[in-house]
A and B are shown apart, each in its own frame.
Chain A
Amino acid sequence: MESSKHKIDTAQWVDRYADYLFNYAITRVNDTYIAEELVQETFVAGLKSMKNFKGEATERTWLTSILKRKIIDQYRKNNSKKGQAEVRMDYSNAADQEGDWLEEQVEDNTTMNAESHLENKELGLAIEICLEKLPLKQAEIFKQKTILEQETETICKEHDITASNLWVIIHRARVQLMQCLQDDWFKN
């Protein structure tokens, strides 16, 4: 299907953007099932609002902005279920009530790693953007082998290629990925 003003190829959406959007969602909702649902909803919402796509941004950016709204809705839904955040405190004895008890009780052990976690998130998305630049089949085989860690034989059967072909594809993908990350990620 194509929009009237700007050419949008919805048939390619899943192959081109699903993994990027899934990565984006999963790092924000930390739930595989919800992330998948959000990506699906994003595509459906994209289809319904295709007329609003002005072509000022790329399709990926546009779909990501839809996904962001879906994620916010998800947070709202979760919060309305929970009512409010809880901080549980257990006092076993009087000594617990002295000193820095509050800080200890609500201590966020993840804060220390927040920066590196954020960097990893960005790196994950940067890798996805680089993978988008590869030819579709090459990217698919590379992901199956590297991210999903499928057996060489399984991938070869699925794509009807020989093991040598597979290693050539993997090699080309790795070289392009290295170059892309060198240009886009490490230079920044």
Chain B
Amino acid sequence: MKNKLFISCQEAAHRIDKAQYGEATFWEKLTFKIHNLYCRLCHFYAVKNKRLTGLLKSDELHCLTKDQKTKMKEKLADTTSNS
């Protein structure tokens, strides 16, 4: 049953992750919060997960897009073939 109130730890973990990206529905948030009331492990996972999101959202984390990396690879391949 899709809309059950009590969920497994695995389902709770996925919903906790989705919530970190703002993609959990109201129902998903409600169910993992209920789950966390009686599951200490998932409760701690949610706390640590929230902390990780905070760290990842610091301004000091950047990465290159796929296009930028592709261009880099092409230039490197050119250099290799020319040398």
Contacts and interface: CB of A to CB of B under 8 A. Distances in A.
A145 B63 CA distance: 11
Interface string B27-61: 00000000000000000000011001001101111
A10 B80 contact: yes
Contact of B17 (A13, A121, A127, A167): A167
A19 interface: yes
Given A171-B17, A178-B48, A143 B80 contact: no
Given A1-B80, A13-B76, A145-B21, 14 more contacts: A18-B64, A18-B72, A19-B64, A23-B61, A43-B72, A47-B80, A48-B83, A123-B58, A124-B58, A128-B61, A143-B63, A144-B66, A147-B62, A177-B52
A144 to B, nearest CB: 8
Given A39-B72, A145-B21, A120 B52 contact: no
B72 A47 contact: no
Contact of B60 (A121, A168, A177, A181): A121
Interface residues of A, number: 42
A36 B21 CA distance: 27
Interface size class of B (residues with CB under 8 A): 20 to 34
Nearest to A167: B14
Contact of B69 (A15, A27, A146): A15
A120 B63 contact: no
B80 A147 contact: no
B3 interface: no
B80 A167 contact: no
B61 A174 contact: no
B60 A148 contact: no
Contacts of A181: 52, 55
Contacts of A40: 72, 75
Contacts of B60: 23, 27, 120-121, 123-124
